[in-house]
Homo-oligomer: A and B are copies of this chain.
Amino acid sequence: MESQSILIKNAIIIGPEIKKGSLLVENDKITNINDNIDSNDADEVIDAEGKVLIPGLINTHTHLSMTLMRGLADDLPLDAWLNEYIWPVEANLDGEHCYAGALLACVEMIKSGTTCFNDMYFFMDHVARAVDEAGLRGMLSHGMIDLGDEEKRKKEFKETIRIIKKCHNTAEGRVKVAFGPHAPYTCSTELLEGVRKEADKYGVKIHIHVGETRSEVDQILEGQGSRPFEYLEEIGLLGEDVIAAHAVWLSDDEMDIIKEREVKLSHNPASNMKLASGVSPVSKLLSKEICVSLGTDGAASNNNLDLLEEMKTAALLQKVNTMDPTVLSAEKVFKMATINGAAALGLKDELGSVEVGKKADLVLVNMKAAHLTPMRHPISHLVYSANGGDVDTVICNGNILMQEKELMVLDEKEVMLQAEESSKNLLSRD
């Protein structure tokens, strides 16, 4: 994990243009991209013949530790899913569960080519520990819920500020912390106003669920007299530092607000389909030049963290929903999972594309497979034909996390065993 320089040769590089060549990583950065770079000086040389080099994928909405609840409750209405399965289990969570689940998620993300993510959950210092050990990059937020209770509200701020002080900009800068007010229907106006104030004070981002279901919109309309994004605008929460997940149910006025305030959206198609939440108007949002990135949501509602799969789901869903096969092309959805994700996290200058000067968060995908033959348009194959299992090598912050499908960090079997046991422990509680 301590390579000082890595030379990747003979790769099909998906940069601003697509061409075969070499790329040099020095420390944590990409320092050279060229047709052919001399290999004498590199500590590590990777021959990427037959492989495509892409930016590490960026998952802008996750609940990592929910991998422990993968497959726990499928094919259920949202309220039964939450009330009868997820919330009762979550009531018993502790830091060790969250650590074990997050570590499992990190292994899964590395194996499927994700190097950066935006996570909201609980016991986030334990999640930070897992992310640090895995060598990944993540923005972490404690999920704040007060349901109008002032005592609960105070605790949520205390916990978030504790996590900011303990974890923000740790792990060589790979771990950042954000405020995570859960949603307009689970947080009081006081909480949301406090979040805006404190986020400004600490200079951190805000990660929130907005407009996921129609019933959420009805509830906010009834309680606040306006739709979720209108309400958040009225109370001053919105800004270019807000990452709003889902954004399924949007009026034209809300789209205007999102555009005006430069709010970043995270589209989660598999989760929205599985829970029958609805279809976000992604192609319309992109045509308005709103920044829409891609997220998997938690493994309890997907049920995996595979962004290659999610790209295909996003493209296909948008086409059939608009009855227009030309919308959300492979190139557009690939941007959602890379540069738009970087922009959402405020890291567009550092992440999301293969360019000199950017952080070395890089993924090699093996194209020598029957389902990726014949080789024609690499981005088409990545979006429409590949899946996470085709990922070969993963580099994050200049460190090799996986090489030729072998994990260089963490003990994969041990992580799976721990997660299996942690899940059993969690579900045996009542």
Given contacts A278-B320, A313-B313, A319-B273, contact A371 B306 (CB under 8 A): yes
A98 at the interface (CB under 8 A from B): no
The 4 closest A-B pairs by CB, nearest first: A389-B389, A273-B316, A71-B380, A273-B320
Cβ of A311 under 8 Å from chain B: no
Q: What would 4 more interface pairs be, CB under 8 Å, given A104-B373, A370-B412, A388-B389?
A: A70-B381, A71-B374, A81-B325, A305-B371
Of A194-202, A259-267, A353-361, A416-424, which binds chain B? A416-424
> Do B304 and A371 touch (CB < 8 A)?
yes
A264 to chain B, nearest CB (A): 23
Q: Is A68 an interface residue (CB 8 A)?
A: yes
Binds B, one of A24-32, A72-80, A145-153, A220-228: A72-80
A371–B108 CB distance below 8 A: yes
Q: Is the CB of B111 within 8 A of A329?
A: no
Question: In whole angstroms, what is the CA distance A193 to B272 when docked?
Answer: 45
Q: Is A330 part of the binding interface, using a Cβ–Cβ cutoff of 8 Å? A: yes
A 366-399 binary contact with B (CB < 8 Å = 1; else 0): 0011110111110011001101111000000000
Q: Which of the listed residues A303, A377, A388, A419 has the most CB atoms from chain B within 10 Å of its own CB?
A: A303
A104 to B299, CA, bound (A): 33
Produce 1/0 per residue, A313-335, CB < 8 A to B. Answer: 10111011011111111100000
Q: Which of A112-126 contact B (CB under 8 A)?
A: 112
A141 within 8 Å of B (CB atoms): no
- Contact across chains for A388 and B371 when beta carbons are under 8 A apart: yes
Is A279 among interface residues, defined by CB-CB distance under 8 A? Answer: yes
A376 engages B325 (CB within 8 Å): no
B324 touches A276 (CB 8 A): yes
A149–B320 Cα gap in the complex (Å)? 34
Q: What are 29 A-B pairs with beta-carbon distances under 8 A?
A: A71-B380, A74-B377, A74-B384, A75-B319, A76-B326, A77-B325, A111-B370, A111-B371, A273-B317, A274-B316, A274-B319, A274-B384, A275-B319, A303-B384, A303-B385, A304-B384, A306-B371, A306-B387, A313-B316, A317-B317, A317-B320, A368-B416, A370-B415, A370-B416, A373-B419, A374-B419, A374-B423, A374-B424, A387-B388
Interface residues of A in 285-344 (CB under 8 A from B): 299, 302-306, 309, 312-313, 315-317, 319-320, 322-330
Q: How big is the A interface, by class?
A: 35 or more
Q: How many copies does the complex hold?
A: 2
Question: In the bound complex, how far is the Cα of B340 from the Cα of A210, in angstroms?
Answer: 40
The residue from B107, B320, B323, B325 contacting A76, defined by CB atoms under 8 A apart: B325
- Assess whether A375 is in contact with B270, with CB atoms less than 8 Å apart: no
How far, in whole Å, are A315 and B319 apart by their CA atoms in the complex?
A: 17
A67: interface (CB < 8 Å):
yes
A104 with B387: in contact, given A316-B273, A326-B76 (CB under 8 Å)?
Answer: no
Determine if A384 and B305 form an interchain contact, defined as CB atoms under 8 angstroms apart: no
In whole angstroms, what is the CA distance A376 to B324 when docked? 39
Closest residue of B by beta carbon distance from A390: B389
Instruction: For A329, list chain B residues within 8 Å (CB).
Output: 74-75
Min CB gap A67→B, angstroms: 7
Which of chain B's residues have a CB closer than 8 A to the CB of A304? 371, 384-385
Task: Point out the residues of chain B lying under 8 angstroms from A415, CB to CB.
Answer: 370
Instruction: Give the docked Cα–Cα distance between A286 and B243 (Å).
Output: 40
Q: How far is the CA of A272 from the CA of B272 in the complex (A)?
A: 19
Chain B residues, Cβ within 8 Å of A302: 384-385
Q: Assess the B309–A387 pair: CB atoms within 8 A.
A: yes
Q: Which of A112, A304, A324 has the most CB of B within 10 A?
A: A304
Q: Which residue of B lies closest to A422 (CB)?
A: B374
Query: Of B274, B322, B327, B388, which one neighbours A325 at CB under 8 angstroms?
Result: B274
Tell me the smallest distance from the CB of A210 to a CB of chain B, in Å: 19
Q: Indicate if the CB atoms of A384 and B323 lie closer than 8 Å.
A: no
